[in-house]
Structure 1
Amino acid sequence: MNSKILIKTLIGLIVFGSFSCKKFLDQDPISTVTDATSWSSSSDVNSQIAGCYSGIRSAFNAACSFYSYGDVPTDLWGDMTANSDYNYIYQMNWGITVSSLNTYDPKLKLRVWTPFYSSIQQSNRCLYFINTMSNDKFDGATEADEIAQKKAFEAEARFCRAFNYFYMARVWGNVPLDTSYQEDISSITSDPRVDQSQILNAAIYDLNIAKANMDYRDASSTDKNVRADKGACFALLAHIYAWKGAYDSCVMACDSVISNGGYSLVSGSNYATIYNGQSDEGIFEIAQNSTSEALNAQTEASIAYFTLAAPYIATNSVPIWKLSTGKLFELYNDTTDARFKKEYTYVNSGSTKYYYCTKYSNISTVTASGVNYYLSENNIIVFRLADIYLLRAEAYASKSTPDFSNALTDLNTIRTRAGISNYTLAELSTNGQNSLLDSVTAERGRELLLEGSRYYDLVRNERITGVSKFPYMTQAQFTAGKYYWPIDPSLMTLNSGLVQTTFWQQLLTY
């Protein structure tokens, strides 16, 4: 099936176990060549589950995709011309012709879903082989303990599969659906894209099984936040329901995270600890906060490379991706906001003051053979508690009859932590639903800037308000589906069952 491997030349982007994650991902997943003989113990399964998470990380580090999809094509930027490839992405010129041989080109990488399907196939592999193993292959003092561990491993594989499908659905809309294990993943058949609703329902199905076999977080675990738990399942469900517009279900999922997950907001004086990773606020993260996990901060896989300047990245006199000063001060109209004070700085270049975000400034220097390497040791923060509070506020705001009071409470929880004045009910309710939703979206912008969220927040906002906040997409283009990415024509060459994303059918051809 094409979902397992679509472009052989790109499979090298996915090397399971090429990173570590404390004690967990330090284990290299066993080669798929020996699938038939490599599932004999709990330790074997643990190594293979590591591959599910490593696959997600590989997908996100290809062309810095977590941020390229979630932050670049938005209203945050003033100038991206320092890097023409990402300037095309910012301006939503996603149909630029790129040779399929140019596997290094971010415009190609971002149109190819192979990394996500490679991760999905690892989940499929785990689920298949775990179910062939007898209970006594798992650890536990009793058979009930052994069964519980077996089901917990299955739950993690289901979470990772659901996460990949949800993420692809937000990027491409309709995608092929595959939940089967294939011994030979090099064969390519003609699997069509299926409706996004089917993809999201499959993800919900996986998560409902997964959460039944997971516990809420163990705060003492060295793997907290970087392995899925029940709270991560509910957080993912909350985002799926928000994307579907099922806001009553979104509220219930958020309630489960907030009330039962064991998470807490860090203090306003300690924002940096969120991005270093594994804070009390984190729910699900991609681990890269140690030397063995970290990215080279001077390469295009790292968000630090694009968004930092000297002294954090000595070779960058100014940031490569330049924030819009106007948008920054529109969001932070109160500059006493602890988020602004703690997370932003500036560098002068001539008469111009360039502001930039310091969320990903945990840079360490490693010297080898007399050469200094600068490593970015920040986790990718996928879900955290503030996000869920604000997503619940959005859900209250987006109901057919907006719940102004509860939206106010959640907004003010986050504003209080930031040290800025609370909204009043009169402020939020005077101008109706669209104004309330804009207030929520703005608060998410302040809180989650450069956390892979802004693009999807603006899409959900526009679906309800009907007002475009994208600098390079009109309301008519939005309605026509421009906000979903095209797939690269090379995928259709290999799989005749695929069709191009609707908006891009006349703009990106073979």
Structure 2
Amino acid sequence: MILLLLVSCKGFLDLEPKSEATDENFWKSQDDAKSAVAGMYALLRVALNGGYGIAHYAYGDLASDEVNSANVDPYHHIVNMNLNLSLASSNTGNAVYLLRRYDDFYKVIDQANRVIKHLNQMENSFFDSEKTKKYFIGEAYFIRSFTYFYLGRIWGGVPILTEATSPIYAVNHESATAEKVMEQSLNDLQEAKKYLDWRNLVNTDFAVRANKGAVFALEAHIGAWTGNYNSTIAAADSIINSEMYFYVSRDSLAYKTIFNGKSSEGIFEISQSATNEGTSVGIGTFTLASPKYHRTISSPRLVTSKTRIDELYNDRNDKRRKFTMDTTINSTFVICNKYSNISYPEEGNNAVPVFKNNIIIFRYSDIVLLKAEALAATNKSSQAIQVLDEVRMMSGLAPWSGNGTLMKAIFDERARELFMEAHRFYDMVRLYRHHGIFEFPASRMTQEQFNRGKYMWPFDPSLLNQNPLLKQTPYWATVGF
């Protein structure tokens, strides 16, 4: 728990790190450094589990075409992109309020800033080797890079903080531009690349802590998000050529190991499947239902219609449909059972479930399909088709037929491959921004609203009140709360 002493709590309400006065008594050994680095991952896990367990999926899935409706308040507002929901000032426990605030992410950034600052000041003699010290610093640069990339996709421009600042110097900060946020992320990533290796310091940390594979995966995604597709190709090739990652069989039980965590396909994940880990409220709470997958919930809180699944997985030979989409429970909705690794510490029908799936951030097939997208975008169609067909054949499908446009075929394949893995919303944004194909339901967002920036989240009004230099994101500044 010592790591909790190193981060602020209410300090980020006005956007500045407020550390406790423990720093001068800390940072005295490798174990101190190790605890502080572990703290970054713990805080990132908290941030991605915000909004009552599904922040990662709320941002990346709920408003996409994967979810038809939500039958629990307030998530139906997120599904329908009513993100300017008016809330009483006292309603600080509302999921929409929590998701419109970035407090938890800046706690991650503060912890990374603190690690970078203090480890650089620690003597090399405190560590088993200089390599260990540098690896820890590389992890901090990666976590800060990832967090800024994550914030940039959600809000566009956000404040950039790169120093661990004492409370006496706390000031408010204005947002940098969206371009500057991605630039900061890339700069941090280049620093991480200097220090990290393909293999983690500890073999069992593979996938759940940063290594060079995670660096290149993030670089591939930043390239795709910003339209720098040559960067995406180069980064994806680094991963593929490393021979560190491999497809998991799409057959039955083997396929589920991807979502349990630490499979051969996992590149970067948030660990919550180990013996002493798990969450009682997670994505499984919203996607599973009884009698097969949950003891107390009779229908999924996030509803995916059978019509949508039949449309997306139009080839019934698709192993992903067969082994992760249960179409047998109900004639109108489908259960996505990717996150059904559940344990019940107690017996009885009312026992609280513990969800034991890792949060899969980047995995091998995701990066392979990003490469296909990048190849198609740079007029290398034959190569793009070859990569696309590699993923299709893994899933029991025939090579692409050539019907329709290649770019849409690639994004459709990503939709099938990465269903409910927090990619689809961002994919739909890229598909329109870079390739002119608009697939958002008009009831949620029109092209005109997209062009005005509705795809970015608003800042909660409480953040604007606490930081007068912070400006509302463009679209939401015009519609009010």
Give the TM-score category using the shorter length.
over 0.9
Establish whether residue 450 from structure 1 lines up as the match of residue 433 from structure 2. no
CA distance in 2, matches of 1:262, 1:409: 21
CA distance in 2, matches of 1:368, 1:442: 42
Summarize deviations over 1:71-110 as a string: whole Å, max 9, x none: 0001112232x11311110111100112343222111011
2:224 counterpart residue number = 242
For 2:339, give the aligned amino acid. Y
CA distance in 2, matches of 1:461, 1:353: 28
Change (3 A) 1:117 1:376: same
2:45 counterpart residue number = 57
User: Identity, % of aligned pairs?
Assistant: 39
1:76 counterpart residue number = 66
2:203 is paired with a residue whose SS is: coil
1:263 counterpart residue number = 245
Change (3 A) 1:508 1:115: farther
Question: Which residue, out of 36, 43, 46, partners 2:24?
Answer: 36
1:479 counterpart residue number = 451
1:506 is paired with a residue whose SS is: helix
Question: Which residue, out of 469, 472, 477, partners 1:500?
Answer: 472
1:204 counterpart residue number = 186
TM-superposed CA distance for 1:369, in Å, is: 12
1:408 is paired with a residue whose SS is: helix
1:18 counterpart residue number = none
Question: Which residue, out of 410, 418, 422, partners 2:387?
Answer: 410
Change (3 A) 1:274 1:220: farther
2:213 counterpart residue number = 231
Establish whether residue 109 from structure 1 lines up as the match of residue 89 from structure 2. no
CA distance in 2, matches of 1:43, 1:473: 50
Whether contact under 8 Å (1:489, 1:508) holds in the other structure is no
Runs of 4+ deviating beyond 6 Å: 368-371
Q: Which runs of 5+ in 2 are unaligned?
A: 1-6
1:77 is paired with a residue whose SS is: coil
Establish whether residue 119 from structure 1 lines up as the match of residue 102 from structure 2. no
Change (3 A) 1:32 1:346: farther
For 2:172, give the aligned amino acid. S
1:147 counterpart residue number = 130
| Further displaced range: 96-105 or 410-419 | 96-105
Establish whether residue 181 from structure 1 lines up as the match of residue 161 from structure 2. no
CA distance in 1, matches of 2:477, 2:9: 20
Q: What root-mean-square deviation, in Å, do the aligned CA atoms of Structure 1 and Structure 2 show?
A: 2.2
CA distance in 1, matches of 2:327, 2:202: 37
Establish whether residue 333 from structure 1 lines up as the match of residue 314 from structure 2. yes
Q: Which runs of 5+ in 1 are unaligned?
A: 15-30, 140-145
Equivalences, count? 465
2:231 is paired with a residue whose SS is: helix
1:25 counterpart residue number = none
Whether contact under 8 Å (1:78, 1:325) holds in the other structure is no
CA distance in 2, matches of 1:293, 1:484: 32
TM-score, normalised to structure 1, is 0.87
TM-superposed CA distance for 1:292, in Å, is: 2.1
CA distance in 2, matches of 1:480, 1:217: 43
How do 1:189-200 residues align onto structure 2 when only pairs under 5 Å count?
Answer: 189-200=171-182
Summarize deviations over 1:233-271 as a string: whole Å, max 9, x none: 000011011100000111101111111151001112221
2:417 is paired with a residue whose SS is: helix
Question: Which residue, out of 460, 463, 476, partners 2:430?
Answer: 460
TM-score, normalised to structure 2, is 0.92
2:64 is paired with a residue whose SS is: coil
CA distance in 2, matches of 1:207, 1:274: 26
Summarize deviations over 1:413-438 as a string: whole Å, max 9, x none: 111110111125xx16xx5xxx1111
Question: Which residue, out of 249, 257, 282, partners 1:273?
Answer: 257
